[in-house]
Structure 1
Amino acid sequence: MSDLTPRYPLSGITVIDLSHIYNGPYATFLMAMAGAEVIKVEPLTGENLRSRGDLGGVALPFAMLNSNKQPVTLNLKTEQGRELLREMVQRADILVENFAPGVMERLGLGAAALHKINPRLVYGSSSGYGKDGPYRDYPAMDLVMQAMCGVISSTGHPDQPGVKSGAALCDFMAGIHLYGAIMTALYERERTGVGRVVEVSMQDATYASLASNLGMLHARGAEAPARTGNRHGGLGVSPYNVYATADGHIVLNAPGDHHFRAILNVMGRGELKDDPRFVSRTARVLNVDAVDALIEGWTRQHARDDVARRMLAAKVPCAPVRELSEVMVDENMHARGQLQWVDHPDLGRVVLMHSPLVFEGTQRRPIAPSLPMGASNAAVYGAWLGHSEQELAAFREQGVIS
């Protein structure tokens, strides 16, 4: 590496990525954007997420999660395919998979077997419920996990059935924690020279996000409402809600008494600061309906963005409720480089994300758009592992690679 080449935190680290959909691929995406060389290993039919574009238009989620990765195809049901993976493991630092528990062991590629090949390997795995609990063999996707983790039961309005979160919370919570676990093990390896196995379950990773709801359950027991709509999950803050405006909606949150006084001043109702219903957070929580009626009576008379501008100028936690089409062109994320317009070879001009992890003093790694299935077969199996053109042709003929 020349002195002119940017040095990223994970420069020189090689990752074998066997994961699919959102969970594992997000963890390895963070590694790629931190400078790691990530080799994405897919079955001959391609990763599941590639095919979702068939029904939903362009396969944007795949492009979002697989920038800066080297895609190869590999049939792990063949002995030669398994041997090629072992060759890669010998040269790798990290392996990531999110198969169901036991799959890698049945292939003869479990962590114990791979550590015999490379004791320095950090082996990261993620599953719905973990490797050793009574739910170990239950199938799990984000919707299922939202139900099991309490996300659905705590989301929605009190007088209606629970609804799922629009965001794939459990998948990405697990992916973030998986990245953290692997980086922790990598740090340990730098001191000891020995890798270890780390695992993250989606169920475990989601629980902490329900802290406010759990707090209310602890305090109120059976009297705690299952769902609080757009109000605070623990019903401990007021105002805290979505309010209608003349042309949309905004959210307002007053965690401190000074925030509420600022709201009153913006609304021109400063005389209410000593009203016993509003004088403290506790009082406002006890009179939450009156607080919400007061605020929405004013917000309905004004435009969404005007309300947000005036409240933000007064340092009130506030935001317009925006459509996804607005979020994709957010000026703050584009100015910071988190969102970038990219000319994708398959999808055309699209907005792609960078990593939320910013390493000061090093420019963001340029986004290299996701590549077609198997595009890096020659580079990885040929140039990196050293197999000849004749061997690669034989692998294709035998159904080992595509």
Structure 2
Amino acid sequence: MLKSFSDLVIIEMAHIYNGPYCGLLFAHLGAEVIKVEPLTGERLRSRARGDKDPHEFVMLNSNKKSVALDLKSQEGKDVLLRLIEKADVLIENYAPGTLERLGLGPETLLEHNPRLVVASGKGYGTTGPYAAMPAMDLTVQAMSGAISTTGFSDSAPVKTGPAFTDFSGGIHLFGGAMAALYDREKTGKGQVVEVSMHDTIYPMLTSALSMLYNYPDTELPERTGNRHSGLGIAPYNVYRASDGWLAIICASDRHWTRMAEALGIHEAADNPLFADSVLRAQNMDALDAMITAVTSQLTRDEISGKLSIAGVPFAPVKTLREVDTDPHLIERGMIQYVEHPENGRVPVVGNPLRMSRAGESRPFTPAPKVAADQAEVLGRLLSIPLDEAESLLGGRRNDYGTQSLLKKNI
């Protein structure tokens, strides 16, 4: 973790993936991240099965603390505003207008702390014709055009498997908050940073849009399956092996000739239809059929061995079970393990940000139970006594065993 980040206090008022992933990046770097949750906990907790926390919540909330406040009550608002006065960044991804209706809009927050960075993650932003539309990863994938480009040309559009618009929004929000913190070092002033998930997807459509602009008078499919989105590169596909699938791409003539030699497709290397990158792209159906005829007779390991020696870009298509035990992710620390009080030893998300002066990694702690840090945080930062911290939870405190947690954390 970065020693300089240990002085940062981050208030995370966020749900599901977008805002919590932004908060997790701050936590990985050593900041104190305090989740301010509703009394019933953030929405992702509702996916719990029995006594266990839902694993998606456990994955994204390591090294955070939890405080629960009723922001519809004046008492809850007052405590939040006192916390804001101690904070450097507030992360929120409520629907547009929600905090304003609670009397906690950005202007109010900055009045209480002019040095605060308000990092606001939104589906479509707070301006524009889509601003008021409900936004989730699926709907933003649809509105952004991502779904229209995913799948095969002869089938229905398909959403992308990973919740990439949620996480893209969270990553951009972290970058925006960091830029605002840097600006604060120069100006002494905080500001509002807004990131629309929808905005962040348009640049990702560069290859797909290039097809539209490169061939304006040609009717081409929006969905290109596993081929290049702009249909400009071949070979570029996922090819069948005898025991699975592999992705192979030849981004240069050198890759192409080496792949043809490694797989023994000598007639393809000499075929004038495949003589250059433009011709290979124009004749990709025939090219893909020729490659598949060879790869389908070989195992993934056999193909991997041949292409690895040849220096051709490739990768086996890993299953989720293979990803769960991926030795590369484990060695690099992206898969970490924590001992969770209910869930046992479970994998959580490591830190993708590698910094040469970060020092030792921060020990991983499991995602907190709701209000687990109520007494410690409110007592240390705001000098609120135990009974007052407990009273903020109302009659719900026994629902999550918070009463004993409060006493233990004094």
Contact 2:374 2:390 in 1 (8 A): no
In structure 2, distance between residues paired with 1:127 and 1:104: 12
Question: How many Å apart are 1:34 and its aligned residue?
Answer: 0.8
In structure 2, distance between residues paired with 1:341 and 1:264: 42
Question: How many Å apart are 1:101 and its aligned residue?
Answer: 1.0
In structure 1, distance between residues paired with 2:192 and 2:238: 44
Contact 1:358 1:364 in 2 (8 A): no
In structure 1, distance between residues paired with 2:76 and 2:67: 12
User: 306-315 or 284-293, which moves further after superposition?
Assistant: 306-315
The correspondence for 1:238, drawn from 228, 234, 238, is 234
Q: Which runs of no fewer than 5 residues in structure 1 stay unpaired?
A: 1-5
The correspondence for 1:200, drawn from 191, 195, 200, is 195
Question: How many Å apart are 1:20 and its aligned residue?
Answer: 0.5
In structure 2, distance between residues paired with 1:34 and 1:58: 24
1:368 aligns with 2:365: yes
Q: Which residue of 1 aligns with 2:245?
A: 249
In structure 2, distance between residues paired with 1:372 and 1:309: 47
Contact 1:10 1:34 in 2 (8 A): yes
Q: Deviation digits for residues 75-105 of structure 1, max 9, x if unmatched? A: 1000000000011001000001001111111
Contact 1:80 1:400 in 2 (8 A): no
In structure 2, distance between residues paired with 1:398 and 1:298: 67
SS in 2 for 1:96: strand
In structure 2, distance between residues paired with 1:319 and 1:393: 53
Counterpart of 1:61, as a letter, is E
Contact 1:235 1:285 in 2 (8 A): yes
In structure 2, distance between residues paired with 1:9 and 1:319: 39
In structure 1, distance between residues paired with 2:305 and 2:369: 44
Q: Deviation digits for residues 346-377 of structure 1, max 9, x if unmatched? A: 21122212121111232332221111111010
CA separation of 1:44/1:186 partners in 2, compared to 1, >3 Å: closer, same or farther? same
* Residues 44-193 of structure 1 aligned to structure 2 (within 5 Å): 44-54=39-49, 59-193=54-188
Counterpart of 1:341, as a letter, is Y
In structure 2, distance between residues paired with 1:314 and 1:9: 45
1:288 aligns with 2:284: yes
The correspondence for 2:385, drawn from 382, 388, 395, is 388
Q: Which residue of 2 aligns with 1:3?
A: none
1:347 aligns with 2:343: yes
1:225 aligns with 2:209: no
Contact 1:72 1:374 in 2 (8 A): yes
In structure 2, distance between residues paired with 1:232 and 1:11: 44
User: 212-221 or 356-365, which moves further after superposition?
Assistant: 356-365
Contact 1:152 1:165 in 2 (8 A): yes
User: 23-32 or 261-270, which moves further after superposition?
Assistant: 261-270
Question: How many Å apart are 1:271 and its aligned residue?
Answer: 5.5
1:359 aligns with 2:355: yes
* Residues 24-35 of structure 1 aligned to structure 2 (within 5 Å): 24-35=19-30
Question: How many Å apart are 1:169 and its aligned residue?
Answer: 1.3
Question: How many Å apart are 1:328 and its aligned residue?
Answer: 1.3
SS in 2 for 1:277: helix
Counterpart of 1:48, as a letter, is R
Tell me the percent identity.
Answer: 46
SS in 1 for 2:149: coil
SS in 2 for 1:311: helix
CA separation of 1:19/1:212 partners in 2, compared to 1, >3 Å: closer, same or farther? same
Q: How many residue pairs were aligned?
A: 396
Counterpart of 2:310, as a letter, is A
Contact 2:69 2:393 in 1 (8 A): no
SS in 2 for 1:297: helix
Q: Which residue of 1 aligns with 2:408?
A: none
Question: How many Å apart are 1:134 and its aligned residue?
Answer: 1.6
User: 6-15 or 141-150, which moves further after superposition?
Assistant: 6-15
Counterpart of 1:388, as a letter, is P
Question: How many Å apart are 1:313 and its aligned residue?
Answer: 2.4
In structure 1, distance between residues paired with 2:233 and 2:4: 40
Q: Deviation digits for residues 188-232 of structure 1, max 9, x if unmatched? A: 001111001010011101111111101101122361211001111
CA separation of 1:310/1:342 partners in 2, compared to 1, >3 Å: closer, same or farther? farther
SS in 2 for 1:223: coil
The correspondence for 1:210, drawn from 193, 205, 212, is 205
Q: Which runs of no fewer than 5 residues in structure 2 stay unpaired?
A: 403-410
Contact 2:86 2:381 in 1 (8 A): no
Question: How many Å apart are 1:399 and its aligned residue?
Answer: 7.1
User: Cα RMSD over matched residues?
Assistant: 1.8
Question: How many Å apart are 1:9 and its aligned residue?
Answer: 4.8
Q: Which residue of 2 aligns with 1:316?
A: 312
In structure 2, distance between residues paired with 1:66 and 1:111: 25
User: 88-97 or 264-273, which moves further after superposition?
Assistant: 264-273
The correspondence for 1:277, drawn from 273, 278, 281, is 273
